[in-house]
Each structure stands twice: as C-alpha cells, then as structure tokens.
Amino acid sequence: MTVLEKVSAALGRTSPLLEAPIPPAISEPLVRLVHSDIGLPELFAKRAEENKMHVTACNVEDLMGHLIGFLRETGCRKIALPISRLLDGLEVVKQLNHAGFEAKRWDQMTLDELYDYDCGVTDVTYAVAETGSLVIRASAKHGRSLSLVPPIHVAILEPKNFLPDLVDVFDRLAKDGGAGNINFITGPSKTSDIEMNLVVGVHGPCQVQLFILQ
C-alpha cells in the first residue's frame, strides 16, 4: 500500500476523499490582538524595539542623511540593495555611491559576492504592528538573501506597509497569491541555547536598523 492508501484506510475510506472538507471557522475575536488601524507605525515601532531592532522615524527628505550617518557609524562600506520602486525612486544607490560607499543593486552581483557585503538596505512588503515583524516577499528583483547574508540589515518602511495583526497579513498573503519565498523578520538573529543566555547575532544579521518614513 502507498502512504496515501494507508492514510485513507486509517480514516476508514477505500479511496482518497475528493470533495473538499470544510475546515473549522476561524473566529476573529479569538485570534485578533490588534483591533484598530490607528497608530500602527507607533505600535510597530514599540514592538520592533522590544525585539531589539533600532527604529528611527524620519521624513523622506532626511532619510539619506540618517542612512549615511548610520552606515558611517557602523563602518559599512559595501552596500547591497534590491531593485525597488521606493529605493530607486529615492536614488539611494546613486547617493550612497556619491557619499563614498560601494553600493550595488541585486542585478549587479552574484549570491557568492553578497557574502562580502557589509549591509543590505531593503524595502519591505508589509510591516506587522502586532509583532513588530517585517514581511518580505522575495522576487527576481528582491533577492531572498539580501536581508539574510550581510551582517547588517537596514529596512526602509513606508506608511502603506503597515498592517495591524498577523490575521491581516495571512489574509493579504493569501490574496496576493503566488508561491515563492516569504520571510517574516522580527529582530536580529539570536539564540539562547547556551544556558539560556541571550546572544544576538548568530547566523542571520547581527543588527537590524529600521527607518520609518512619515
């Protein structure tokens, strides 16, 4: 018997069920923790900081000043970016190169080269206020590794990114459709394996800096 046949037999059927069963209804009041659309960036920022991400709120005009300041402070030199409407629109690559950094877009590098980069600067698909998580859907333009491989991750968030609750995120993801890779990022990589001591910076980025555009 194949595994599928064994499963059907264990459930008392002679062949696999073909008609779609109806799963239990998900009652929103049980699951939802954030009920309002008001103040999402503030709630998000609070949760993100609890999860050891650094948050800076700024206007679009001040972004480059803040970003360049942060990259200099952390000693970053090589910066990797996705092809993105937001970042391209702000001419981030051009301005970073102008400021003396070596900034390249995802289409100008290989995955192996990315290991030598100091920082990935990305946009995000969604930001979840409930948990302080970034949600990034990878694509040909936005490499899966950009927010993973470089030791520092900087994310730029726009007002339209914010969603209240995980309930809303999965709802959106289901509507967006498509397969591909989706990552929820809630802080720098960490472990407490050794005697329950929290250590930040294991295999993913050691530092996550967020700029929230107002």
Partner 1 sequence: MTSTLEHQTIDPHTQDFLDEAKASKFDFHSISIKAAGDERLKTAINSAVMRQYTGRQLRLLELPDSEGLRTLAGDIKGHALDYLDYYLVQTKQAVERNGGQVHFARTGEEAKRIIFDIIDKANCKSCIKSKSMVSEEIELAHALEARGMDVVETDLGEFIVQIDHDKPSHLVSPIVHKDRASIGKSFAEYFGTPFTDDPEKLTKQARVYLRDKFRRADFGMTGGNFVVAETGQVCVVENEGNARQSITTPRVLVSLIGIEKLVPRLADLAVMLKLLARSATGQPFTVYTNLFGGPQQEGEKDGPEEFHLVFLDNGRTEILGSEYRETLRCIRCGACLNACPIYRKIGGHAYGSIYPGPIGALITPLFQGLGNFKDLPQASSLCGACYEACPVKINIPKHLINMRKDIVSQHLNHPMERVIYRMWAWALKSPFLYGAISAMQKFELRRRAKKTGWVKSVPFPGSGWTQIRDMPAPAAKTFHEMWRGK
Residues 93 to 132 in contact with partner 1, rule: CB under 8 A? 106, 110-112, 115, 131-132
Distances (CA, A) of 173 to 25, 36, 139, 169: 19, 20, 14, 6
Q: Write out the two tokens for 145.
A: 């590794």
Stretch that binds partner 1, among 62-70, 86-94, 96-104, 192-200 (CB under 8 A): 192-200
| Residue from 100, 140, 159, 160 binding partner 1 (CB under 8 A) | 140
| Residue from 20, 38, 59, 89 binding partner 1 (CB under 8 A) | 20
For partner 1, the closer of residues 85 and 203 by Cβ is 203
Q: Which residues contact 70 (CB under 8 A, 6 or more apart)?
A: 56, 154, 209
Q: Write out the two tokens for 45.
A: 């920022």
- Convert residues 156-175 into a mask of x (bound to partner 1 by CB under 8 A) and - (unbound): ---------xxx-xxx-xx-
CB 82 within 8 A of CB 143: yes
Contact between 202 and partner 1 by CB under 8 A: the answer reads yes
CB 54 within 8 A of CB 153: no
Residue type, position 119, single letter:
C
Q: Tell me the closest approach of the beta carbon of residue 143 to partner 1, in angstroms.
A: 5
